[in-house]
Every structure is written in C-alpha cells, then in structure tokens.
Amino acid sequence: MGEKLKNKVAIITGGAGGIGGAISALYAAEGAVVVANDINAEITEKFATDLSAKLNCTNIIPYAADVCNREQVNKMVQDVLDQFGHIDILVNCAGRSKDALLHKMSESDWDFVINLNLKGTFNCVQYVYPFMRQQNQGKIISLTSRARMGTIGQINYSSAKAGLVGLTCSLAKEAARFNINVNCISPGFVLTPRLSQMEEKHLEARVQLNPFERAVQPEDVANLALFLATEDSRNITGQVINIGAW
C-alpha cells in the first residue's frame, strides 16, 4: 500500500468496470477513499467487496447511480460530502458505445451514447465543481478516446468523445484560478475483459494502431490517472494525453 493519495477522496464513475476498476484499485492502494460508482448495484457491491479483500482495506465505497440522471448524481455528490467532507478527485470513466454506420444509426443509439459519455460527464462535473472551487483545489480527469478523431461506424461515440475534449479544455481555463486541474486521457485499444472477446482479426487490427504493437492494459491507463491525480501534475491542465495510439 502506498500513500500518494493519502487523505484524498475520489469519485470514479464507471469505477467497477475494466479501466475504471483498474483506476479504483490503484487509487485505493495509494491511500485514497475511493467511491466506485457504477449503474449496477450488484456488480458495484461485488467489485468493492472483492477489491477490499484483495487489498485488505476499508477505503472502497460502492455507490450505484446513473450518471445520466442528474438527481442521482446530485445525491451521490451530497452523500460523499456528508460522509467525508470533501471531494478531491473526479474521474469520469463511465461510457459505452453503440456502433452503426450513419444510415443505420437510430436516434436512440445517438441519444444513449451522447447522454452517457458526454452529458453524464457534464452532470458529474457540474455537481462536483462548486465544492472544488470552495476548497480551492481539485483534479478532474475524463476518459476520452482515439475515436475522438473519427472512426467508421462510431459517429455517436466519436462525437461524444470529441465533446469531452472541448469540455475539458474550456473548463481548464475556468478552473485554473481555483487551483483545479482538468485533463483528458485518450487511450487507444485497451484490453478490457469486454473488448478481449472480439474476434482475433479485429483485436489484431486494433493492436496495430499502437506503435509498440501491443494492447494497452487497464493498469497502464490507471498509472497515468494516478499521475494526473497527484501534485506531480500540478502545472498540467487542459491537456489530452494519448496512451497506446495517437
């Protein structure tokens, strides 16, 4: 167990998933109180129980809430503040894709992806940000994607992930005077449990996008998220940091 995030409180949306789960694990191992958020209560509870046993710690708090639901996000933020008194780190990792070529994409597929990936992040940031302003410090980290530059069959997902870059760059300018760092991580192909089920030929095509010709592991992303959550990155804001591809 380390102490890089000792006495810090972090909310991690999608915190029981592949990348989010790796970030939750590393933050908890470095001493943070980790509020691991996910929409599925059963999955979130099991994740927190298993990780707590693995790390032999009590600083992982499961919290089921839908980031697309503003009332639920508001309640989550208030509950965390009521219990711990501060929120130091927000990691926006909740997201999913629903792929289709434009002429086959339904309005519901567009709305789902934009709401979850972009509006969900907006909701979380908007409710956490006032308290970070009051305490005059904070770290906001959002997971964008290489898809932000355009991918066939992912117009909805690409639009959402590009929107996160705009949100990050704009908020970074607003938040700097309050000592709040706002940055994006942009992974290439990350070998999460879900993506590892792809056909071999599709896996190989994505691996080839990485100059190192290997898949990025969730722990690689977590290591970068840790750096951005510490004072080592105190002069870094408004940045989109690629990992695994560009």
Active site residues: 157
Phi, psi of 16 (to 5 degrees): -110, 5
Using only C-alpha atoms, what is the Rg of the chain?
17
| Strand runs labelled E in the chain | 9-13, 33-38, 60-64, 89-92, 138-143, 180-187, 240-243
Q: Quick one: tokens of 115?
A: 């709401």
Q: Quick check: helix, strand or coil at residue 86?
A: coil
Amino acid at 175: A
Q: Quick one: tokens of 231?
A: 């004072």
Q: Which residues contact 228 (CB under 8 A, 6 or more apart)?
A: 139, 141, 181, 183, 185, 236, 241
Question: What length is written for the chain?
Answer: 246
243 within 8 A of 186, measured Cβ to Cβ: yes
Determine the Cα–Cα distance for residues 110 and 118; give it in Å rounded to an integer.
11
User: What burial class does residue 62 get, using C-beta atoms within 10 Å of its C-beta: 0-12 exposed, 13-18 middle, 19+ buried?
Assistant: buried
